Every structure is written in C-alpha cells, then in structure tokens.
C-alpha cells in the first residue's frame, strides 16, 4: 500500500518551520511563472483565458496533494494544446470536458494496474518525435496572432493552416509584430537581469502598458473575449452519452498517455535534482484525479509541468506544500486581478508560446538521433511527420506499432539456430563419447549419427522461422536429435508450437529427441505442454 500513498502524507511527519518558509516562497514564485503560461495555453487551446488558470488551480492543487512526487507542479502544458484545440473545434467545449474526465479515469486505471513502471518503455525516438512535432504545431498556431493577420477561423490541419497564412501575408500588421518582437526580446534577455521573476510576466506588463499608453491598435484578450471573469469556478457535470464517449475515446486515451509520459518524465527529472524517488503509480492516480477535477470545473487537461517543477526546486521547494501554495496563489490572483488580463496583447501571448515551443522542441536531441540506427531514425521521422501533418493520436499509434515491429525484428536477428552433426567415425570419437555420456541410454551407445540444434536468443514468434527452416536438415539417417537451449532466456507459445511440430516429425521418422539445458521459463512451458520426457539436465560440452 505504501506505493499508493501520496507523498505529502510521508513528508509531512518531519515538516519544519524552515520547510514551510521555503515552500511558500517557491510556491509564490512558481505561481508568477505559471500565470502567463496558463492564460496563454488556455487561449491557444481554443478556450477562454480563465480556463487555463482554473486548470492550474484545481489540477495543480490535486496533483500536489495526492501525487507521488515531492516537488511536482501540475497544470496545463503545451503538449496538450494541439489535441485540445482539435477536440474543441470538432466537439466543442463540452466535448473537451468529457474527454478530459475520461482521460482522468484512464489515468487512474493506469495507476491501479501498476502501469506507471511500464510507461518508461515507450521508445525515446517516439517521445522525441511527437514532442518536436507538437512544438512545431504550437509555433504554427501562434503565427496568426504574432503577425496580426486577424484570420478568424483557422483550420486544424498544419498544411492547410500554412496555406492560409501565405495567402494572407499581405495583412501583416507592423505594430502587432513590433509588440510581439518586444515581448520576445524581453523573454529571452530578462533572465540575464534576474531569474527570480519570469521574463514572460515582465513582457506582459511592458507590452500591455505600451499598448494602453499609446492607444495602439493591437488585438488584446479583451478585444477578442470581452470581459474576463474572476469568479470562483463552479462544478459543471457534462452530459455523457455512449456515442460521444465512443467518439472521444481515442483523443482521451492520447491525453492520458501524454499526461502519463510527461508527468513521470518530470518526476524522474526532479528525483535526480533532489535525490528522491517518486511513486509512479500514485502519481498517475493523482494525475487522473486532477484531470477529472479540472474537467468538472470547466478546465482543460493537465499534467506535471517540467519547467515549472524545475523552477520550484531551484527556488527551494522540497515538499508538495509548495505546489499547493502555487495553486492557492493563482486562485487569489484570479479573484483579485483577472479583469486586468483583458489588457494583455495577443501577440505577447503568441511570443510566450513560441518560446515554449522552442524550449520543448528538443531540436538538439532530434538532430542527435540521426546518428542512431536507421530503424530508430525511421520511427523518429515518421512519428514527427504524422504529428505535424495529421494528428497526435495517429502519430502515437503508428509510432508504437512501428517501434514494436522493429524491436521484434531486432530480437529475431539476434536469435540464431546452428546445426552440428556427428557420427561414430574415428575422427569424431572423442566428441561422440561426450555426447553419449549421461545423455543417451545404454542401448543407444552404438547409435551412428547425432544431430544438434543449438538455439541462441529468445525463442519467440519473430524467430521461429529460423528454427523451422533448419528442420529441412533432418533426414532418416539421424538417430538422435538434441536441442540445446542454454542460451534461450524465454520462449512463447509460437516457439512451443514449433517444438510440437518437431516432436511429431521425430516420432514419424523414429528419431530419439532430447532437449538439453532448458532455462527456467522455457522448461516450465515445455513441462506444461507434456514434453517433460524429452528434457535432460546434462551439459553437453560440444562446439
């Protein structure tokens, strides 16, 4: 049960006054960092600005309270933006809420089934491919606001979106671009002044002041969304139906997979920084609860945010209290200052998300993977291309399937079957005697021909064809057939079926068959199949 115990309940026992001071300080700083990001991600996801803040508040508090990490900071992230925007366009905000709640349920199931430790087996080229693909898509989605094109309805599809951009380049607004460039420069250069206050917040304050001071004709949150509500969110239970759940199960599953990968990756990174160890399955359950909570309050999908988690650690946060303070601070900001959000220029938010896209692109790792084996490069490029051109759901599905097939091919390539053949001639007398000693019955000692099949590597469905090909070497002249399995760590049902075929063949040809050196897993499988009589423990020292 300890593995499904929230980390908060473990660390609170030795909690000190100094811990509280450090956590409160870190929580407030992280809230300031999360404020512009949450608003920007809410708008970019196709919902109103306060939805992003609601997500950071509700989901952020739940993830910290119930999570399996000491320092995880939860909230909306760029990874979800593409899939969320697509759901909103096709199924509306109600469809998004249902998908978010469904994703939360899936995450809870993942945790209860101990899938937390399995997520890490998703190949690195897949995660890099779709992460870089998401970054490119996020960047593309911000071109409209950054350039001031004022295109009302943009298509979700990447190629169609850029086609419309090029058709409308004559509408680029110089003042809007200028505000966006100023925001970009502040975000990039401000860390050289101080890292305590995020550059994104300074960019918002400076650009909003410039727009108001000089009455610049620049689109703002207020001009697009009107007045922004700063009221407490209320629970809204959506109307579920079998039809809408059937349609949304694929994107909900994608949200769950993305949430699981990003949250556990963030937890692993934070573990290395503070010398701790997270509880992966408890973290998944907390992520699930957080998404259900976010959905019920009208928010968007949430997960562990790596950048905000790292900021939490660097500013002294060491327990889940810091994440809870971050959520409460955001709540106070929303209640007191949310109406001021209407003054924020959209090009500033676009600049913030372009920087987010650049930071999450992992372009150095992407390029570095081109030094990997060709099969990994293939998985990387296909996953990236499908993420950008089509959608993330299809990219993950095809990427995992392709990686699985390539893995099976690699395993099959390392499995081989060698054939040795001995007779009782004078040249082979020494080896022949070793073969006979302890393995053959006394009545068999005068047998003339012995054939050995030496199997090396996993004996599974991907490698069985090599074994079956060698069956052609069996002929009526063989008296004893020995299958050596010292180097077979595992065998599956297809491998066992191949053995059954071999047994029948040996019976038909009246050949004595022995299975020598079987390891534990293959041995148990062979015994269950009723082939115990063919097993021998004797080690045959023949090469």
Both structure tokens of 160: 């169609």
Average pLDDT, stretch 411-428? 63
- Distances, alpha carbon 223 to alpha carbons 58, 176, 226, 498, in Å: 27, 14, 6, 71
What region does 33 belong to: left with phi over 0, alpha with psi -120 to 50, or beta? Answer: alpha
Instruction: Give the torsion through C-alpha atoms of 424, 428, 434, 438, to 10 deg.
Output: -10
Confidence band for 428, pLDDT divided at 50, 70 and 90: very low
Contacts of 308 (CB under 8 A, 6+ apart): 30, 33, 34, 37, 73, 75, 326
Q: 439 falls in which pLDDT band (50, 70, 90)?
A: very low
> C-alpha angle 507/473/480, rounded to 5°?
45
| 258 close to 379: Cβ distance less than 8 angstroms | no
* Cα 492 from Cα 458, distance rounded (Å): 9
Residues 507/512/513/516 CA torsion (nearest 10 deg): 170
Nearest to 100 by CA among 157, 160, 153, 58: 58
Please compute, for residue 340, the number of CA atoms within 13 A of its CA located in the half-sphere on the CB side.
Answer: 11
| Cα–Cα distance for residue pair 199/457, rounded to 1 Å | 55
Report the C-alpha dihedral over residues 440, 445, 448, 450, rounded to 10 degrees.
20
β-sheet bridge partners, residue 516: 484, 536
Radius of gyration, alpha carbons of the chain = 31
- DSSP lists the bridge partners of residue 304 as 74
Which residues, at least 6 apart from 85, have a Cβ–Cβ distance to it below 8 Å? 44, 45, 46, 141, 156
Give me 481's structure tokens: 């057939």
Q: Closest Cα partner for 110 from 247, 291, 234, 325?
A: 291
Question: Is the whole model's pTM more than 0.85, yes or no?
Answer: no
Q: What is the DSSP string of 69-113?
A: -SS--EE--HHHHHHHHHHHHHHHHHHHHHHHHHHHHHHHHHHHT
Residue 499 confidence (pLDDT):
81
For 244-291, write each residue's pLDDT tens digit.
999 999 999 989 988 998 898 889 888 988 988 999 999 999 999 999
Distance between CA 38 and CA 80 in Å, rounded?
12
Residue 240: both structure tokens together: 């579920």
Q: How far apart are CA 263 and CA 251, in angstroms?
A: 18
Question: pLDDT tens, 101-128?
Answer: 999 999 999 999 988 877 767 788 888 8
How would residue 445 be classed by pLDDT, with cut points 50, 70 and 90? very low
How far is residue 328's CA from residue 318's CA, in Å, rounded to a whole number? Answer: 17
- Average pLDDT value for the chain: 86
pLDDT value at residue 422:
62
- 317 contacts 30 by C-beta, under 8 angstroms: yes
Provide the pLDDT for residue 375: 82
Query: Greater confidence, 499 or 186?
Result: 186
Q: Which helix (H) or strand (E) holds 455?
A: strand 449-456
Span 214-240, mean pLDDT?
A: 87
From the number of C-beta atoms within 10 Å of its C-beta (0-12, 13-18, 19+), residue 91 rates as middle
Among the listed residues 67, 123, 34, 60, the one whose alpha carbon sits nearest the alpha carbon of residue 373: 123
Judge contact between 203 and 186, C-beta under 8 A.
Answer: yes
How many other β-carbons are positioned within 10 Å of the β-carbon of residue 318? 19
Where do the structural domains in the chain lie, given as residue ranges?
Answer: 2-8+16-220+234-406, 416-536
Cα distance between residue 341 and residue 165, in whole Å: 27
State the pLDDT at residue 532. 86
Beta-ladder partners of 536: 516
Q: pLDDT band at residue 427, thresholds of 50, 70 and 90? A: very low
Say if CB 122 and CB 261 are below 8 A apart: yes
pLDDT digits (tens, 9 = 90+) for 316-352: 999 999 999 999 999 999 998 888 889 999 999 999 9
Q: Which fold has domain 416-536?
A: Transcription Regulator spoIIAA (3.30.750)
The dihedral of CA 461, 462, 467, 468: what is its sign? positive
Residue 318: both structure tokens together: 């060491």
Q: Among residues of the chain, what percentage have pLDDT more than 90?
A: 44
Q: Is 172 helix (H, G, I), strand (E, B) or coil?
A: coil
Sign of dihedral through CA atoms 394, 395, 397, 399?
A: positive
């Amino acid at each position: 049960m300890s593995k499904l115990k929230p980390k908060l309940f473990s660390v609170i026992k030795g909690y000190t006054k100094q811990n509280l001071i450090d956590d409160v300080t870190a929580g407030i700083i992280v809230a300031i960092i999360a404020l512009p990001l949450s608003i920007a991600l809410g708008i970019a996801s196709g919902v109103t600005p306060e939805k992003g803040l609601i997500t950071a508040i509700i989901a952020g508090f739940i993830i910290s309270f119930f999570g399996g990490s000491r320092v995880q900071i939860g909230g909306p992230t760029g990874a979800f933006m593409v899939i969320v925007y697509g759901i909103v366009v096709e199924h509306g905000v109600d469809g998004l809420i249902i998908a978010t709640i469904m994703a939360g349920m899936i995450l809870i199931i993942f945790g209860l089934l101990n899938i937390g430790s399995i997520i890490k087996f998703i190949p690195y080229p897949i995660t890099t491919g779709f992460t870089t693909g998401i970054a490119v898509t996020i960047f593309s989605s911000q071109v409209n606001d950054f350039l001031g094109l004022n295109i009302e309805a943009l298509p979700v599809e990447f190629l169609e979106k850029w086609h419309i951009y090029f058709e409308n380049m004559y509408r680029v607004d110089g003042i809007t671009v200028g505000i966006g460039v100023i925001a970009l420069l502040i975000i990039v250069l401000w860390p050289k002044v101080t890292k305590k206050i995020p550059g994104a917040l300074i960019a918002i304050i400076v650009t909003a002041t410039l727009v108001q001071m000089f009455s610049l004709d620049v689109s703002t949150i207020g001009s697009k969304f009107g007045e922004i509500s700063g009221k407490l969110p209320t629970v809204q239970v959506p109307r579920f139906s079998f039809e809408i759940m059937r349609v949304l199960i694929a994107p909900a599953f994608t949200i769950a997979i993305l949430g699981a990968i990003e949250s556990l990756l963030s937890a692993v990174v934070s573990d290395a920084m503070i010398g701790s160890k997270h509880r992966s399955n408890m973290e998944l359950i907390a992520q699930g609860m957080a998404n259900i909570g976010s959905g019920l309050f009208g928010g968007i999908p949430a997960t562990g945010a790596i950048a905000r988690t790292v900021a939490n650690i660097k500013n002294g946060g060491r327990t889940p209290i810091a994440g809870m303070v971050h959520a409460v601070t955001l709540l106070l900001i929303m209640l007191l200052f949310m109406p001021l959000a209407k003054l924020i220029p959209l090009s500033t938010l676009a600049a913030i998300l372009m920087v987010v896209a650049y930071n999450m692109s992992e372009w150095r790792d992407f390029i570095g993977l081109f030094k990997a084996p060709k099969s990994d490069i293939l998985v990387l490029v296909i996953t990236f291309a499908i993420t950008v051109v089509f959608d993330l759901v299809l990219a993950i599905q095809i990427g995992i399937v392709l990686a699985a097939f390539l893995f099976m091919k690699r395993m099959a390539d390392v499995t081989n079957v060698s054939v040795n053949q001995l007779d009782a001639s004078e040249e082979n007398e020494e080896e022949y005697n070793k073969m006979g000693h302890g393995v053959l019955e006394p009545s068999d000692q005068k047998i003339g021909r012995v054939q050995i099949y030496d199997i090396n590597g996993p004996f599974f469905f991907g490698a069985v064809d090599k074994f079956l090909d060698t069956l052609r070497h069996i002929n009526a002249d063989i008296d004893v057939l020995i299958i050596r399995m010292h180097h077979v760590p595992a065998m599956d049902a297809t491998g066992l079926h191949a053995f059954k075929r071999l047994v029948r063949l040996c019976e038909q040809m009246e050949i004595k068959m022995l299975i020598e050196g079987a390891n534990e897993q293959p041995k148990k499988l062979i015994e269950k199949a009723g082939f115990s009589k063919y097993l021998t423990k004797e080690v045959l020292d023949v090469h």
